[in-house]
Amino acid sequence: MSHKIAVLPGDGIGPEIIEQAVRVLQVLELPLELETAPVGGAAYEASGHPLPEATLNLAKAADAVLFGAVGDWKYDKLDRPLRPEQAILGLRKHLGLFANLRPALCYAELTHASSLKPELVAGLDILIIRELTGDIYFGQPRGRRTATDGHFPGAEEAFDTMRYSRPEIERIAHVAFQAARRRRGKLTSVDKANVLETFQFWKDVVTEVHAQYPDVQLDHLYVDNAAMQLVKAPKAFDVIVTGNMFGDILSDEAAMLTGSIGMLPSASLDRDNKGLYEPSHGSAPDIAGQGVANPLATILSAAMMLRYTLQQAEAADRIESAVQQVLAAGLRTGDIWSEGCRRVGTREMGDAVVQAVKAGTSKTTTQS
Ligand code: IPM
Ligand code: MG
């Protein structure tokens, strides 16, 4: 049976990095049917909307979505519904992609690229699970109005709504406990229960769900403390589960521990493990079109797609071990380059992974 993959390159470096991931997928000679569509600023330019109907329909019909990146400063002045970021938010919402998996893995070869001391990050392997369709990102009501109370009645104000329902918390908690069970059996739930009703409720519900996973060790951290522990002793974490906004922030922080956000893939899954796969980094318009962007996060996202949605674990292993071989051979894009390594561009890095996949048979790796 052939699988349909919607390929959405997007803006900035999106098209360059997606091109390399597609080449790697093609080498595997799996029955994949790839169809490309515009998204983000590119789609706005082409048809006046960042998430055109046709693109959304393609994504809905596909078994999985391979996504590049969206966004450019030049769209910052557009009305919010027309900005490129709305494309990814719309896809998450319309496809029900509530579970965002962001592994932060520090490759042995890149220990020195981290901003932390090598001994703090060597061997780092944590998984951040971010709830992706609720919280203050999507909570209604939101908007601007004239204040009728607060510190300045009568003044213009803006507001958003932080909210989580029990089923939303329960389903992400199940994803997180199950992931922890497959890993080192440790889950940290991050909240702000000392101040926010929403996150006291979050903590209560996660604690209830824990009763079904007695084999997993659960602890709770306030988000400010979690941010601190992540730079103090990141290896103490295994799986972290948190809400949409805290997860947005903590996943960027965790990414940097590994040396480069250019290395990190992500999966956004619905309840049936259908998913959207994208690098954790953004569209990097400052280096777009120069052929210098690191394609490895996107290539590793394609591997996650094979593993989680297409149930092709062996093919995923082949890609992940190819990436490790290429790093071991000393190839580096600018973002991860260090003295003594060979500096390569986007395409050359893609070529190297393609060759390693062709040459390699699958070796089991530690990638989550
Ligand atoms: C992310 C990004 C998005 C988010 C933006 C582009 C809307 O920062 O995927 O982490 O805030 O979720
Ligand atoms: Mg983010």
The per-residue pLDDT string of the chain (368 residues; one tens digit each, 9 = 90 and over) reads 799 999 999 999 999 999 999 999 999 999 999 999 999 999 999 999 999 999 999 999 999 999 999 999 999 999 999 999 999 999 999 999 999 999 999 988 888 888 899 999 999 999 999 999 999 999 999 999 999 999 999 999 999 999 999 999 999 999 999 999 999 999 999 999 999 999 999 999 999 999 999 999 999 999 999 999 999 999 999 999 999 999 999 999 998 898 778 899 999 999 999 999 999 889 999 999 999 999 999 999 999 999 999 999 999 999 999 999 999 999 999 999 888 999 999 999 999 999 999 998 655 444 44
Nearest residue (CA) to ligand 1, atom 5: 85
Nearest residue (CA) to ligand 1, atom 2: 248
Atom of ligand 1 minimally distant from the CA of 252: 10
Ligand nearest to the CA of 67: 1
SS3 158: strand
Determine which one of 192, 213, 277, 308 is catalytic.
192
- Tokens matching residue 294: 């690191």
Tell whether ligand 1 has an atom less than 6 A from the beta carbon of residue 136: no
Examine the residue annotation and report whether 107 is marked as an active-site residue of this protein.
no
C-alpha span between 12 and 346 (Å, rounded): 13
Fold agreement (1-97+270-368, 99-263): yes
Return all residues near 96 (Cβ < 8 A) that are at least 6 apart. Answer: 133, 270, 271
Are 257 and 107 in contact by the 8 Å Cβ rule? The answer is: no
Examine the residue annotation and report whether 137 is marked as an active-site residue of this protein.
yes
User: What is the pTM (predicted TM-score) of this model?
Assistant: 0.93
C-alpha span between 111 and 149 (Å, rounded): 52
Just give the CATH number of 99-263: 3.40.718.10
C-alpha radius of gyration, the chain, whole number? 20
Examine the residue annotation and report whether 204 is marked as an active-site residue of this protein.
no
Ligand nearest to the CA of 279: 1
- Tokens matching residue 35: 């169809």
List the end-to-end C-alpha distance of the chain, in Å, as a whole number. 26
Domain ranges of the chain: 1-97+270-368, 99-263
What does the pLDDT look like over 38-87, one tens digit per residue?
999 999 999 999 999 999 999 999 999 999 999 999 999 999 999 999 99
Q: 156 alpha carbon to ligand 1 midpoint, in Å?
A: 27
What does the pLDDT look like over 247-260, one tens digit per residue?
999 999 998 898 77
Q: Does domain 1-97+270-368 have CATH number 3.20.20.370?
A: no
